[in-house]
């Protein structure tokens, strides 16, 4: 079948489509390469480094275990929302920590347990929601000289 006299030439059609593809790729490149600079480099909880997440979780758990000591030989179940806590047990030698993800299991409800959810994490600040058998709180942490410190812990109210 021959092209009619009113049909645009093949090269013009190819040029038009190539132009659209280049505009699309340029848009992706520009939005994908945006960076944030400065002291409060925002790192979302999924993109933050595993080490940074573990540092924050360790600080929260150490604070809890210091203020509410765990008897020797008693297990402590730690559930980290979205499975971001793998390796926290190795950072707390001397404690029998069982790490899980998702909902608190029925066995854990009879023992000491914590459910943790990192809500926000930056280079120097973090917010973690903590639930246990008796409370539902939000903890604010700050990195001071490379060490994470819990600076406040308040009841968490759902709005």
Q: What does the mean pLDDT of the chain come to?
A: 77
Q: Is 106 part of a structural domain of the chain?
A: yes
Q: Is 111 part of a structural domain of the chain?
A: yes
Q: How far apart are CA 149 and CA 25, in angstroms?
A: 43
Inform me whether the pLDDT recorded for 79 exceeds 70.
yes
Q: Is 4 part of a structural domain of the chain?
A: no
Task: Look at the chain and report how many structural domains it folds into.
Answer: 1
Tell me what pLDDT residue 72 has: 84
Q: Higher pLDDT residue, 147 or 17? A: 147
Q: At residue 87, what are phi and psi to the nearest 5 degrees?
A: 105, -10
Residue-number span of the structural domain to which 150 is assigned:
43-155
Tell me what pLDDT residue 19 has: 62
Q: Is 145 part of a structural domain of the chain?
A: yes
Q: Is 27 part of a structural domain of the chain?
A: no
| pTM of the predicted model as reported, rounded to 2 decimal places | 0.66
Rounded mean pLDDT, 146-158: 92
Q: Is 37 part of a structural domain of the chain?
A: no
Rounded mean pLDDT, 126-153: 95
Q: Is 9 part of a structural domain of the chain?
A: no
Q: Higher pLDDT residue, 25 or 57? A: 57
What are the C-alpha distances in Å from 96 to residues 28, 112, 130? 47, 11, 19
Name the band, by pLDDT with cuts 50, 70 and 90, for residue 42: very low
């Amino acid at each position: 079948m021959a092209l009619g006299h009113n049909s645009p030439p093949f090269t013009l059609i190819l040029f038009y489509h190539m132009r659209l593809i280049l505009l699309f790729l340029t848009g992706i490149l520009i939005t994908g390469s945006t960076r944030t600079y400065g002291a409060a480099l925002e790192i979302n909880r999924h993109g933050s480094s595993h080490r940074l997440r573990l540092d924050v979780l360790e600080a929260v758990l150490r604070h809890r275990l210091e203020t509410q000591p765990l008897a020797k030989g008693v297990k402590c179940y730690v559930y980290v929302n979205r499975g971001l806590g793998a390796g926290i047990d190795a950072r707390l030698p001397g404690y029998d920590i069982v790490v899980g993800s998702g909902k608190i299991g029925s066995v854990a409800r009879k023992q000491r347990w914590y459910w943790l959810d990192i809500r926000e994490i930056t280079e120097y600040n973090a917010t973690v929601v903590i639930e246990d058998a008796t409370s539902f709180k939000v903890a604010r942490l700050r990195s001071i000289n490379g060490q994470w410190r819990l600076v406040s812990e308040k009841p968490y109210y759902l709005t």
